[in-house]
A = this chain, B = another copy of it.
């Protein structure tokens, strides 16, 4: 259960006082008058005699039984402090968990306050991804689970924290005047801002569409670009090695509108949709479309990795359809948010229609979270004098450079593996030359007797994805570079030891 806060009823307890005990015993008169038992409301004590003396001396009178106003004020002040503590303390515990990496179930219980009811079980804590690894674990690097970025986001405190009141964003609708009627305006705004800040894609003159991950938007693009009245399904192609999910997503429903047709480099035909992924998944190569677009041929550009942590930003991309995802830009894979920049209004409308028929719209909670996260990213770079000190791309670039250095060393130490050559370019964002450090390592096993690299590595408790799935050979595997440090370090050690 998400970290939650309940207001507990404030209770004033005399022993919760923040004033030293002796202060309670001191009475201070406003006026004089015959002292009586009612005037000892503060409790008594030796000091009282001096007060009584004072009243006698000054001759001022105080109505019998009335506590001096300042004393009442003091009690009130102490009561407010106790109440404030009761309200603030649970919040502090939730925001600053002491357990590194995980908010423990105990902390969740504490933060959530006692749950009413005997049948209401204690809340399960929010998940924390794949199980923790030990030096004997099987290391799973076959998915691009971007948990490497957790360390960065932990440091940002509450800059990217989302609070959603129970009554908020309940409607299906966000902005009925927008082509993408279910898109939260703040998300739209933050997407545009980030692209302007990074300079990796044009946004002026583009429609922004939101999707449940860029995977949904990929299908939406296929739907939008395939003529509804075509006799044959439109061919969908991409240059090998291509992302293993392209054939799967295209074909799993055996759609009559579009059908996977394999490697773009060997495709012959007039009507097609070419998927261009750059930097490419799996091998990180910088790609352009190989088939001409225009006529009946269209291109969809998957720019999931076109961010400074992976590659130099060499130009402001301005293709007709460009896809991006939170999963690989900020690491928030669990939020399931992707977006598309689309030039053509009719294409944007049809893509929106796809999302409408598929999932009615896109989670507003996720959009609001994504907007908050994207804002935090931009704040690190375009904040002027007040820029936050949390710079995602600096962190990411440093991290990826380090990991590739470790990987190249390990491959060299092993002697039986090869990797793509290192390439670099001028990064306009960082104003420096930067290397390509792809999110996946396209590893090839060169040992003659190892034809199935994935199987070989699996035997050494390293799970990768076989090159087979990418339209390449089984000597290749794709390895995620985005997992947590502990898993990555174990992988590096094991790889270096393989002969």
Contact = CB atoms under 8 A, between A and B. Distances in A.
A158 interface: yes
A51 B47 CA distance: 13
B386 A116 contact: yes
A246 B224 CA distance: 21
B375 A120 contact: yes
A164 B2 contact: yes
Nearest to A1: B186
A130 interface: yes
Interface in A358-392: 358-366, 368-369, 371-373, 375-376, 378-379, 382-384, 386-388
Contact of A170 (B3, B74, B150): B150
A413 to B, nearest CB: 30
Given A5-B158, A164-B2, A172-B145, A117 B81 contact: no
A57 B154 CA distance: 60
Interface stretch (A201-209, A250-258, A304-312, A397-405): A250-258
A147 B176 contact: no
A466 interface: no
Nearest to A96: B165
A331 interface: yes
B167 A333 contact: no
A254 B229 CA distance: 11
A118 interface: yes
Given A81-B84, A170-B334, A382-B119, A70 B26 contact: yes
A383 to B, nearest CB: 3
Contact of A167 (B84, B150, B215): B150
Interface string A317-337: 000000000010001111111
Contact of A171 (B145, B212, B386): B145
A80 B81 CA distance: 7
A2 B168 contact: yes
The 5 A-B pairs at the shortest CB distance, nearest first, are namely A129-B171, A23-B70, A160-B166, A84-B84, A117-B383
15 contacts: A2-B162, A5-B158, A26-B28, A121-B193, A126-B184, A126-B368, A127-B173, A127-B184, A130-B171, A162-B166, A171-B333, A334-B364, A334-B365, A335-B363, A365-B366
Interface of A: 1-7, 18-20, 22-23, 26-30, 47, 50-51, 53-54, 57-58, 60, 68-70, 73-74, 76-78, 80-81, 84, 87-88, 94-95, 103, 115-121, 123-131, 143, 145-147, 149-150, 153-154, 156-176, 184-186, 189, 193, 196-197, 212-213, 215-216, 219, 223, 245, 248-249, 252-257, 327, 331-337, 354, 357-366, 368-369, 371-373, 375-376, 378-379, 382-384, 386-388
